Structure 1
């Protein structure tokens, strides 16, 4: 990530830790050295550091060890931890070791008259604080924010929506759903029950969804109530986001009690739009349908843009929209087009690989053509100059990927044909078919007796298959590994014939 709060050394050690965590049987010294492009002496030093830092992070409940039999480096735990837990808390440890986020968090909690005053309070050298503040200033630039030591202004000034977005992505990228020290804020600010109750899925929200809502609420209350930084949004924004307000219920009573009607209306509009764009799956399909229908029936320009874009995508890629596919595509597309029209900040620095498609899809020649067509469609839209004017590659990437995903949501899935022949135990062939149908969607699997028409032939004997078919030689029915390898073979064909078709 471009906007990482880690220093270079901490980033490398964190990546080393991740490589070891994700490896099933551990990684050797040479494998780590080659994978991360490190010298022998540098890797040795980092490994020694990691051994101590892993124990510091997890209170000696997690250890980095070298297996005495294989020589590979492995993670050993005294309790059962998920990979996500290990990675997120390790990430937090290394972020806190570098200084940039510490300075940001301090600026959001306190107000200083100068960098020297801040350095004195934090028991740091002025030169070190200057360095961290300079890095933070660079990160704030795309969001239209600045750092201020003016006693009459808040520490972060500038584009208020941009600053709030920066604060959200910063805190979320650092803490995710790990624990954040909230002692600097009233306890009620972290209670998100009122915000949750507005949405359909409040009873089944995950910890990461709740964590996102907490950060959104905290940032909103902190900026609006403590620092008196109010958002400036246009009547056009209020009109374009109106249909995301689906319930006539009070939202964040603290805001309602302490802000004027005009300011509260703006805060509410931004909250109800932003939560949909930042937190996944808050609404039921029925609510999404209502929102989409309201936009389609409106005279809003943004709705016309969305409908036109979807029609052109449908024509170019010969899509037969399903009701659910159309609803989800429209819902996420209009959120993004509103973002482009009114906010248009490039947040790609907070994404791994900076939104490279290579990590998300099999980026082969066919997909290159698809994305070229998508780009051409976007460039012909009336709103494109808004993106092109600022050369916002990240915004363009998100829009392209959203359209690609919309195409896939409405793509009719194909099928694969399997021929099963078992000569050693005749009824076992029927058992294999039953197991395959228990695992996979029955509409996507077609069994055939014709070897020449099969995508995959499963047999305990050699079969003369066509050049396009795969042959899985299955002659050890009592060996559990054979069954696992058979599923792997089906997965491989399934992916190529259905998902990449």
Structure 2
């Protein structure tokens, strides 16, 4: 959604900056033109504007796009983290868009009309109307909209509170990414309150949980908005919370009943576990998974059946502890798909598709299609799970199942014959490198070339297919080692599916 809230010019500049920062050797002007389909003059204009933007944003530690001949590159100082640079530039581009200005105005006050909202932010009604259509198109994926006429509300953001909460948890983080504290109307002490879940998190995750906490406290205490969830959904969330419960760190006695407070806490806990990885420890996840299995609730059987289906189909190897961890992750996903059922896939900055991993050696499109079909057919035949046909939700489930399959697959060892003719010791170095990188579970070396699935050599070893042969010619070039690792890992991946 963050790119949807950028103007086209800023979105194009941001994409160019990302590519330059990701590129180790820089990018040639012709490569940039070919990739972006923009003219040479437009690219030079983008670079000039980017350098102006970077000068304004990073005054203490200046950075610039530099040029050597026809190649452009960026050198970051050691203390200037690439994630901070990208998130800060992204945020600055989002904040100058009219869409984010309109949304902020609509979320902070209940304006009587579109004209009133437009006047409050000094935009023309016609321009506001056009931008509002763009915003509502994005909000519709979350079953939320900006509208007017209901004077009982305290803002112009309409929808079921559970859906609004889901959207705000998603939007505030993906827009701000912890670079700023975006809740100017909230009391300052909200920032200092203890977190409501016992957890050890990375700094970014800690900040994200504080975002969730602020949104919940503000909407519950100040806007008097309360979520409503079904008893059926609630029964799962209570189990999910048993081992590591959510306990709000502020007094709601005069605002929420005990039942309403319970609903708020368990829903907060679920959304936070959905959006933030590893809130629960490994041990807590395993205990929670076992509790869910023991409950024999309808969706837990669907989860068991789906996990067993991929175990059999893909010959997966899981011990009891691993099984419970996979079960926990899959159950979180099924609860989201079945009860929340919000497809926000098209609002992502980068679309999450296995297909995009395709290269000459790997056909991820085939893998994606296979798992897509598996999840659709399972949802059709399962006695409880809602039919999953929505493209974004299918993709979400496919990506998760692929991760489980890839982690638990029973891999056939790859037998490698390796020889290097220029000296007697590089061959051992190659073997050590691959075993360290890919592990002994996958890689086996053989001295019999006839038994090998793959040959690594700097010499002609007979009529061996190029798919099974890596020409290792220059051990003192880092690119050779990178290419070797990619070649072998690609071969392992391709051989499995």
Instruction: Name the TM-score, length of structure 2 as normaliser.
Output: 0.88
Q: Which moved more, 1:273-282 or 1:121-130?
A: 121-130
What's the secondary structure of 1:426's corresponding residue?
A: coil
Q: Does the 8 Å CA contact 1:148/1:154 hold for their aligned counterparts?
A: no
Aligned residues: 488
Distance, in Å, in 2 between the alignment partners of 1:315 and 1:438 is 30
Query: 1:289 & 1:249 partners in 2: Cα distance?
Result: 15
Aligned pair partner of 1:495 in 465, 482, 490: 490
Aligned counterparts, 1:111-150, within 5 A: 111-149=110-148, 150=150
User: Where in structure 2 are there 5+ consecutive unaligned residues?
Assistant: none
Please show how residues 387-406 of structure 1 align to structure 2 within 5 Å.
Answer: 387-388=388-389, 392-406=390-404
Partner of 1:225: 221
Q: Mean Cα displacement is larger for which, 461-470 or 445-454?
A: 461-470
The structural deviation recorded for 1:174 is 0.9
Q: Secondary structure at the match of 2:154?
A: coil
Contact 1:419 1:448 in 2 (8 A): yes
For 2:282, the equivalent position in structure 1 comes to 285
Cα distance between partner residues in 2 of 1:458 and 1:276: 45
Q: Are the counterparts in 2 of residues 465 and 471 from structure 1 also a CA contact under 8 Å?
A: no
SS at match of 2:464: coil
Cα distance in structure 2, aligned partners of 1:74 and 1:276? 39
Q: What's the CA shift for 1:261?
A: 0.4
1:471/1:39 Cα in 2 relative to 1: closer, same or farther (>3 Å)? closer
Alpha-carbon RMSD: 2.8
- Give yes or no for contact 1:341–1:383 (8 Å, CA) kept in 2: no
Indicate conservation of the 8 Å contact 2:246/2:266, yes or no: no
Label 1:148 to 1:229 Cα distance change in 2 as closer, same or farther (>3 A): farther
The match for 2:203 among 192, 204, 207 is 207
**In structure 2, how many angstroms separate the alpha carbons of the residues matched to 1:110 and 1:329?**
43
**Does structure 1 residue 382 correspond to structure 2 residue 379?**
no
CA distance in 2, matches of 1:431, 1:318: 33
Offset of 1:430 from its aligned partner? Answer: 3.8
Offset at 1:425?
Answer: 3.9
In 2, Cα distance between equivalents of 1:62 and 1:148:
43
Aligned to 1:363: 364
Determine if contact 2:372/2:394 at 8 Å carries over to the other structure: no
1:386, distance to aligned residue in structure 2 (A): 4.5
Deviation, structure 1 residue 360: 5.1
Give the match's secondary structure for 2:80: coil
CA offset digits 1:167-196 (Å, max 9, x no partner): 122112211132234432122323363324
Contact 1:192 1:213 in 2 (8 A): no
1:463 match: 461
| Shift, 1:461, TM fit | 4.6
Q: Determine helix, strand or coil for the equivalent of 1:184.
A: coil
1:346 maps to which residue?
A: 343
Q: Residue deviations 1:193-239, cap 9 Å, x none? A: 3324x23xx2xx11221122122111111211111110011211211
Query: In structure 2, what is the Cα distance between the partners aligned to 1:453 and 1:486?
Result: 24
Whole-Å separation in 1 of the counterparts to 2:53 and 2:164: 33
Q: Partner of 2:439 in structure 1?
A: 441
| C-alpha contact 1:451 1:457 (8 A) present in aligned 2 | yes
Deviates more, 1:147-156 or 1:456-465: 456-465
3-state SS of the aligned residue for 1:231?
Answer: coil
* 1:190-339 mapped onto 2 (5 Å cutoff): 190-191=191-192, 193-196=194-197, 198-199=198-199, 202=200, 205-247=201-243, 251-254=247-250, 256-257=252-253, 258-339=255-336
2:421 & 2:139 partners in 1: Cα distance?
68
**Other-structure match for 1:84:** 83
Partner of 2:411: 413
Structure 2 distance, partners of 1:37, 1:416, is 42
**3-state SS of the aligned residue for 1:254?**
coil
Which of residues 474, 485, 490 in structure 1 aligns to 2:480? 485
Q: Which moved more, 1:415-424 or 1:180-189?
A: 415-424
What secondary structure does 1:241 align onto?
A: helix
2:24 aligns to what?
24
Tell me the TM-score normalized by structure 1: 0.88
Shift of 1:413: 2.9
Are the equivalent residues in 1 in contact too, given 2:274–2:332 (CA < 8 A)?
yes
CA distance in 1, matches of 2:447, 2:463: 12
Counterpart Cα distance in 2 of 1:355 and 1:267: 30
Q: CA deviation at 1:280?
A: 0.5
SS in 1 for 2:73: strand
Q: Which range is displaced more, 172-181 or 280-289? A: 172-181
In structure 1, the gaps of 5 or more residues are: none
- Closer/same/farther in 2, CA of residues 351 and 158 from structure 1, 3 Å limit: same
Relative to 1, partners in 2 of residues 1:261 and 1:84: Cα closer, same or farther, differing over 3 Å? same
Deviation per CA, 1:277-300: give whole Å up to 9, x if none. 111011122111111111111131
Structure 1 CA distance for aligned equivalents of residues 293 and 247 of structure 2: 26
Structure 1 stretch displaced more, 403-412 or 89-98: 403-412
* Greater shift in the superposed pair: 20-29 or 211-220: 20-29
- Conserved in 2, the CA contact under 8 Å of 1:143 and 1:159? no
Provide closer, same or farther for how the CA distance between residues 88 and 454 of structure 1 changes in structure 2, counting only shifts above 3 A: same
Structure 2: how far apart are the matches of 1:368 and 1:346?
19
